[in-house]
Amino acid sequence: LFTQVFGLSSVAQVALGKGNSGQYLSINMAFGIGSTLGIYAAGGVSGAHLNAAISITQCVLGNISWTTLIAYIIGQFLGSFMAAATVFALYYDAIYNYTNGSLTVSGPTATAMIFSTYPAPNVSLQGAFFTEFTATVMLILGVLSIHDEKNNAAIKGAQPMLTGMLVLGIGLGMGLNTGYAINPSRDLPPRIFTAIAGWGTAVFTDDHSWWWVPVAAPILGCLFGVFIYKLFIDFHNHPGHETEHEKEQAGMETS
């Protein structure tokens, strides 16, 4: 909820303000701040499962059960849907003034992109899929690096802030093509909300039925990113750490 309210409201402010109330950097910063606050808020409850792609990956790895996964995804989707409704209510008057009451997905007064991501006009579906896939690989590599206790993990209190900076960095470098959804829970529930709230089924059919890309690409990117991390980093951590542990044990026995 934190992530989405901060993020979506920043998009609304930039779009509806026609560039006079913020720039693209404002959106990047708001999503980073929202992610940080969301992790601080939910870290003690669930370990801060804010991203369905990461939750699914954790389930595949056996770190959480299927029932826990379903509970997390339901919570993520409900929070994201409620955040979209909150931002819609917050900017209701501005949206209708900006669009003259015509809620559209494309065109000069399009507003659906306030709530969900849509690809840039010059990007192919394949290019957009690869962008979301790659951005999510970077996300999970960063998250694992920040939290990996067997490696050079950040101190616990700084982890949410560094994860927010990671999201900010992805937005700064990989947001042009698709708006960096990198999270099915960030994109799909607000899309469902816009379909209900007046934008209609165009939110699912426009741009070659784009909606499935921010759902599938982050999941596949997350799984691939974990594979890359385990192959090139985690796999090489075990022998060294085991050796150190053995040395400590040997030292204690000698003493």
pLDDT value at residue 48: 82
Q: For residue 253, is it within any domain?
A: no
Return phi, psi of residue 149, to 5°.
-70, -25
- Rounded Cα gap, residues 73 and 95, in angstroms: 29
Please say if the pLDDT value at position 119 is more than 60.
Answer: yes
- Rounded Cα gap, residues 70 and 19, in angstroms: 39
- The radius of gyration computed from the CA coordinates of the chain, to the nearest angstrom, equals 20
Which pTM was predicted?
0.90
> Which position has the higher pLDDT, 44 or 215?
215
Q: For residue 255, is it within any domain?
A: no
Q: For residue 88, is it within any domain?
A: yes
Q: For residue 32, is it within any domain?
A: yes
Number of domains the chain is built from: 1
Q: Give the closest residue to 80 by CA, choosing from 34, 112, 33.
A: 34
pLDDT value at residue 243: 43
pLDDT value at residue 254: 37
- Confidence band, pLDDT 50/70/90 cuts, at residue 238: low
Q: For residue 254, is it within any domain?
A: no
Q: Give the closest residue to 113 by CA, choosing from 220, 221, 24.
A: 24
Q: For residue 247, is it within any domain?
A: no
CATH number for 46: 1.20.1080.10
Q: For residue 182, is it within any domain?
A: yes
Q: Do 72 and 55 touch, CB atoms closer than 8 A?
A: yes
Q: Name the least confident of 23-37, 41-55, 116-130.
A: 41-55
